[in-house]
Structure 1
Amino acid sequence: TLGHDPLGGVRAVAQEIKNSVRRATGLSCSIGVTPNKLLSKIASDLDKPDGLTVVTADDVASRIWPLPARRVNGIGPKANAKLEGLGIKTIGELAAAERAWLVERFGKSYGAWLYDASHGIDDRPVVTHSEPVSMSRETTFERDLHAVRDRAALSRIFTELVEELAQDLQRKGYAGRTIGIKLRFDDFKTVTRDHTLPQATADARTIRRVAGECLKRVDLTRRLRLLGVRAGTLEKGSGDAGGATRLRASEPAAPYAAEERELPLFSDNGE
């Protein structure tokens, strides 16, 4: 049919993804639609911002080969410098090299990968789901806060972060064995501390208690710009949600008594 676009369906799906991202976040994004992950990464950068680029296997020579070799995800500064020293600056020039020649100069594994990558070959599967390694909540303050003079505000904010983290864990059916904190000071120095428990937890009170112990290991004399709490070493579907109970994804975070919720995490000496 005159004017028929055989890739029209693919373009429509990609455009709907872009539309969904904009509706959900108000942000634009660029999408590359190609036969594999490596080419899609390159293609997504071709028409930024807010681009939608379709590259087929037949387009590799015209669209990909003229690009600098460093545009291939996996060719870092050192490898790129070595390639330039060998007279190779573009992906096309890399594709013109013999596989054996590349293996001789870059090793069996990386040399073979360079050859395949330059020809647009990438057989890695697309993974659409993976288990989280950690979950965290953090906030940056509108003004820098002092551990002593702003103790009540910091304690309240930290408790809220802990409660939000506990709710995230329980809603998604996880518990964490490692509880950590993240602090950024007014000089932009970032400090983290963590502690690993014998049993995973998704209980807000337990997380708050352990996080408070972590805070005691930090010098809090400088003002704070950012405060955060993290749960790592996650376990799926088991853990301590308040005592000896087993975690259920629908289980609510254990509530605080009013006086417990406002318990200061920062002492008068700034510890």
Structure 2
Amino acid sequence: MQSDRRRIAHIDMDAFYASVELLRYPELRGQPVVIGGGSATRPVELPDGTRQYFRMRDYAGRGVVTTSTYEARALGVFSAMGIMKAAQLAPDAILLPTDFEAYRKYSRMFKEAVAGIAPQIEDRGIDEIYVDLSAWHDDVEDVARRIKEAVHAATSLTCSIGVAPNKMLAKISSELDKPNGLTILTRDDIERRIWPLAARKINGIGPKAAEKLAALGIETVADLAQAQPELLRAHFGRSYSEWLGRVAQGIDERPVQTYSEPKSISRETTFERDLHARADRARLSEIFTALCVRLADDLKRKGYVGRTIGIKLKYADFRGVTRDVTLPEPTGDAAVIRQAAGECLKRVPLDKKLRLLGVRVGTLTHKDELATAPVAAQAELPFS
């Protein structure tokens, strides 16, 4: 098969946000640290030059964990977990605020370091990329080590690399020897190293699918590889069951996509406490404006404008609602985005407390394709 000659690397920065923070606060190395707090959790500089850190046990609110150090993960604290729940598991862990500007800076540095060696890159997020190393088939391990060294030289951070015949296996292998790992996987290694893993380790098998598989007695990748196609088809449908059968055998022919157009760009925030449209109008207006400004900055930085402006609300009872409007001309202007999003807000009930607010711009176009850009005045937020 042609894929037997492919060598795809998945490069994943180790505990990325937490590792960036440890560069700033090196005295916290080796301690359980959680990233996800707001500005109130920022360390306090003391007169003697030391810092006073915020402890998890002192947190009150509904924030979620962005990431954690490996020491905190050993205590059961993982990303997307509620901070209050995490505080019960690790009350003495240190809580730090997120700093996405710093994370984006280090993300650019690590990707530039990789591109200097292997430019065939598929960007998968702030802390992970795929790289096509097929041109270095015979000395792929040496190239992978050079990449690790270049990333560390540029950022002082470590990454884990998995190299395999395809993207699916590369992603799994990058997780096998974390942190600071390097795993080279061939097709001959699938039964020995991949089949014993839990089926949910395959990217694309989510919690619900994993639960459904477990109910059928399918716990591992080996179980999935040996499952009868008729059984999978009866419970998952034709398309998804065929995909399950392929990936369990280590088959994934997806190419490394060096470029793809984003469908939309968005910003959202979960409030530390529920806010009401009337009682908290000033605070909501401030948050709304900030989201629109940050979204406009994102569009400018990435070189896009968009015609579809949308909002996302989540109420205190976790019920969500979205609305959008399509403008006659694309925009990247914060005031125009705010005005259009405000029109969307007028079309949703605002009689209940809110826990989340988000703004989105879709139907994107490259800014340099436009001769002119529309200008509009800033509008009032319809929280009243």
TM-score by length of 1: 0.68
Q: Deviations over 1:69-91 (max 9, x none)?
A: 5644456459947985xxx7654
- Give SS of 1:213's match: helix
- Give SS of 1:222's match: coil
Alignment correspondent of 1:235: 365
Alignment correspondent of 1:133: 263
* Aligned CA distance change for structure 1 residues 215 and 32 (closer, same or farther; 3 Å): same
Return the alpha-carbon distance in structure 1 between the equivalents of residues 214 and 360 of structure 2.
Answer: 39
- Give SS of 1:7's match: helix
Residue 39 (1) aligns with residue 169 (2)? yes
Alignment correspondent of 2:316: 186
Confirm or deny: 8 A CA contact 2:200 2:210 kept in the other structure.
yes
Structure with max Cα Rg = 1
Q: CA deviation at 1:218?
A: 1.6
* Aligned CA distance change for structure 1 residues 116 and 140 (closer, same or farther; 3 Å): closer
Letter in 2 for 1:166: A
Confirm or deny: 8 A CA contact 1:43 1:53 kept in the other structure.
yes
* Aligned CA distance change for structure 1 residues 216 and 48 (closer, same or farther; 3 Å): same
Alignment correspondent of 1:168: 298
Alignment correspondent of 1:145: 275
Confirm or deny: 8 A CA contact 1:239 1:246 kept in the other structure.
no
Q: Deviations over 1:118-170 (max 9, x none)?
A: 44343321113211111112222333322122222222221222122122223
Residue 266 (1) aligns with residue 367 (2)? no
Alignment correspondent of 1:216: 346
* Aligned CA distance change for structure 1 residues 8 and 112 (closer, same or farther; 3 Å): same
Letter in 2 for 1:186: A
Q: CA deviation at 1:214?
A: 0.8
* Aligned CA distance change for structure 1 residues 266 and 29 (closer, same or farther; 3 Å): farther
* Aligned CA distance change for structure 1 residues 168 and 185 (closer, same or farther; 3 Å): same
* Aligned CA distance change for structure 1 residues 186 and 48 (closer, same or farther; 3 Å): farther
- Give SS of 2:196's match: coil
Q: Tell me, which stretches of 5 or more residues in structure 2 are unaligned? A: 1-138
Size of the aligned set, in residue pairs, is: 240
Alignment correspondent of 1:56: 186
Q: CA deviation at 1:11?
A: 3.6
Q: Deviations over 1:149-207 (max 9, x none)?
A: 22222222212221221222233221111101122222232222111122222222221
- Give SS of 1:163's match: helix
Confirm or deny: 8 A CA contact 2:144 2:161 kept in the other structure.
no
Return the alpha-carbon distance in structure 2 between the equivalents of residues 104 and 218 of structure 1.
Answer: 44
Letter in 2 for 1:266: P
Alignment correspondent of 2:147: 13
Q: Note the aligned Cα RMSD (angstroms).
A: 3.9
2:372 alignment partner, one of 246, 249, 256:
246
- Give SS of 2:274's match: strand
Confirm or deny: 8 A CA contact 1:201 1:239 kept in the other structure.
no
Q: CA deviation at 1:50?
A: 6.3
Confirm or deny: 8 A CA contact 1:185 1:222 kept in the other structure.
yes
Identical residues among aligned pairs (%)? 53
Return the alpha-carbon distance in structure 1 between the equivalents of residues 198 and 255 of structure 2.
Answer: 25
Higher RCO (C-alpha under 8 Å, 6+ residues apart): 1
- Give SS of 2:348's match: coil
TM-score by length of 2: 0.50
